[in-house]
């Protein structure tokens, strides 16, 4: 009881500070279809890009759409179809992603069913390239062509300082007969597409989103859920200072000691500002819900974890660095048995909580939020159920 009172006092104290304002909810996807798998990024000119998956009612797979905002996310035109990205198996943790390289090339990557008899649950990752900024698209190709690789999923992509691209993903190929997948990396260079695929870490949790991040100094960071001592599934961080050629050994961002033989289906989020690295993740070890911590020394040491929601149902966190280095963190949580809401947290550059709010009502059903810094604040996109159909919605918030 004393612990609960302490948590409530801290949450009330955190409600004072700068506020997010605005936030008119706008539907972006076709409301006659089912839409999900929101993702936010920026194109080569710096414009905000929102992508999502649309399905016909009754169909299991969908097609990739995207829209480029002319005004920092305040409005979006009708979605543009990526005609070569079809057969997508929608999954909020394995959502399609797009990157825009400085040379005008666009890469869209997505997950589909593998249909491999070796594992009926296996997935396959494909990507399609537009050499002309989205005007035309080449046929999709598999990320992995090795016949031994029948299961790939939970990928993340970034543009490197050189203008090349890097991707990490979870793969069934491994050198040890233990539980888990292998974390792989590949990069572009020379001929179009990804090349030089190589393993980075063995025995990684096979069912959680990975995170890949390039900091302002060109460092390449990866965060993922590792399997430690065969039973513990905690979040770890690795770092490369040579563009992904070599990485540090995995270090736990928090010793949660979550022992579970199952699939959490909720991965980490990671950003960096002048004060260091910042992380958010879900665990049921040493507490339950979404937690936050930071590392002031590039992953050598970590602060004590902080619970960002009073409810243990909080999952699927995402982070963004705002103007002046402030942070925004979003997540979803089941407030009761009838709904699922989107939460948002504003932190100062050094990690102090300034404000906490909710973007959707607890009686609605919304989830898998993503966010992107804007000139005035932050843009949040998420899926939400309305009139019996799930659609993609956005809110542009001023700080």
Q: In the Cβ-directed half-sphere of 178, how many Cα atoms lie within 13 Å?
A: 14
User: Tell me, what's the pLDDT at 389?
Assistant: 93
Task: Report d(CA 147, CA 208) in Å as an integer.
Answer: 24
Task: Report d(CA 344, CA 285) in Å as an integer.
Answer: 23
Task: Report d(CA 135, CA 177) in Å as an integer.
Answer: 46
Those residues whose C-beta lies under 8 Å from the C-beta of residue 80, and which sit 6 or more positions away, are 65, 66, 67, 134
User: Tell me, what's the pLDDT at 175?
Assistant: 86
Whole-number percent of the chain with pLDDT over 90: 88
Name the strand (E) or helix (H) holding 68: strand 63-68
- Report the b/e string of 69-78 with b at 16+ CB within 10 A: beebbbebee
CA angle 185, 149, 145 (to 5 degrees): 80
Those residues whose C-beta lies under 8 Å from the C-beta of residue 4, and which sit 6 or more positions away, are none
Structure tokens at 83: 């005609």
User: Tell me, what's the pLDDT at 18?
Assistant: 57
Mean pLDDT for the stretch of residues 330-347: 93
Average pLDDT, the chain: 93
Structure tokens at 155: 């990928």
Q: pLDDT tens across 228-267, in order?
A: 999 999 999 999 999 999 999 999 999 999 999 888 899 9
Its pTM stands at: 0.94
pLDDT at residue 344 is higher than 90: yes
User: Tell me, what's the pLDDT at 20?
Assistant: 77
Mean pLDDT for the stretch of residues 39-57: 97
pLDDT at residue 342 is higher than 50: yes
* Highest-confidence segment of 204-208, 234-238, 307-311: 234-238
C-alpha torsion sign, points 297, 299, 304, 310: positive
User: Tell me, what's the pLDDT at 337?
Assistant: 76
CA angle 291, 296, 297 (to 5 degrees): 125
Grade residue 177 by pLDDT with cuts at 50, 70 and 90.
Answer: confident
Q: Among candidates 269, 388, 359, 351, which has minimal Cα distance to 317?
A: 269
Q: Among candidates 159, 39, 49, which has minimal Cα distance to 102?
A: 159
Q: Among candidates 237, 256, 255, 257, which has minimal Cα distance to 247?
A: 237
Mean pLDDT for the stretch of residues 178-183: 94
DSSP state of 264: -
User: Tell me, what's the pLDDT at 10?
Assistant: 41
User: Tell me, what's the pLDDT at 268?
Assistant: 98
Whole-number percent of the chain with pLDDT over 70: 95
CA angle 165, 112, 140 (to 5 degrees): 50
Q: pLDDT tens across 58-115, in order?
A: 999 999 999 999 999 999 999 999 999 999 999 999 999 999 999 999 999 999 999 9
Higher-confidence position of 21 and 152: 152
Higher-confidence position of 21 and 138: 138
């Amino acid at each position: 009881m004393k612990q609960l009172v302490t948590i409530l006092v801290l949450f009330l104290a955190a409600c004072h500070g700068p506020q997010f304002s605005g936030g008119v909810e706008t539907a972006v996807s076709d409301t006659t279809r089912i839409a999900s798998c929101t993702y936010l990024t920026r194109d080569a000119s710096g414009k905000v890009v929102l992508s999502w998956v649309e399905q016909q009612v009754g169909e299991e797979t969908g097609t990739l759409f995207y829209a480029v905002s002319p005004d920092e996310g305040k409005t979006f035109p009708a979605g543009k179809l990526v005609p070569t990205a079809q057969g997508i198996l929608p999954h909020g943790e394995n959502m399609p992603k797009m990157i825009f390289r400085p040379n005008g090339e666009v890469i869209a990557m997505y997950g589909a069913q593998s249909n491999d008899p070796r594992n009926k649950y296996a997935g396959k990752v494909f990507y399609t390239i537009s050499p002309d900024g989205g005007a035309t698209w080449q046929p999709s190709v598999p990320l992995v062509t090795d016949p031994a690789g029948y299961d790939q999923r939970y990928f993340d992509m970034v543009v490197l300082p050189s203008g090349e691209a890097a991707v990490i993903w979870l793969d069934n190929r491994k050198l040890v007969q233990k539980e888990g997948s292998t974390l792989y990396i590949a990069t572009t260079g020379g001929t179009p597409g990804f090349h030089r695929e190589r393993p980075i870490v063995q025995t990684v949790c096979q069912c959680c989103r990975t995170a890949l991040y390039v900091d302002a100094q060109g460092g390449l960071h990866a965060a993922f859920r590792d399997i430690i001592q065969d039973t513990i599934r905690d979040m770890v961080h690795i770092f490369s200072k040579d563009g992904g050629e070599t990485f540090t050994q995995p270090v736990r961002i928090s010793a949660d000691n979550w022992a579970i033989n199952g699939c959490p289906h909720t991965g980490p989020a990671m950003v960096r500002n002048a004060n260091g690295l910042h992380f958010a993740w879900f665990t049921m070890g040493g507490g339950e819900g979404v937690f936050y911590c930071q590392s002031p020394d590039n992953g050598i040491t970590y602060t004590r974890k902080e619970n960002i929601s009073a409810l243990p149902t909080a999952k699927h966190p995402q982070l963004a660095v705002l103007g002046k280095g402030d942070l925004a963190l979003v997540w979803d949580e089941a407030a009761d048995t009838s709904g699922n809401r989107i939460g948002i947290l504003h932190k100062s550059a050094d990690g102090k909580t300034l404000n906490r709010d909710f973007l959707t009502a607890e009686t609605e059903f919304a989830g898998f939020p993503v966010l992107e810094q804007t000139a005035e604040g932050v843009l949040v996109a998420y899926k939400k159920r309305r009139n019996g159909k799930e659609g993609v919605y956005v809110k542009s918030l001023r700080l």
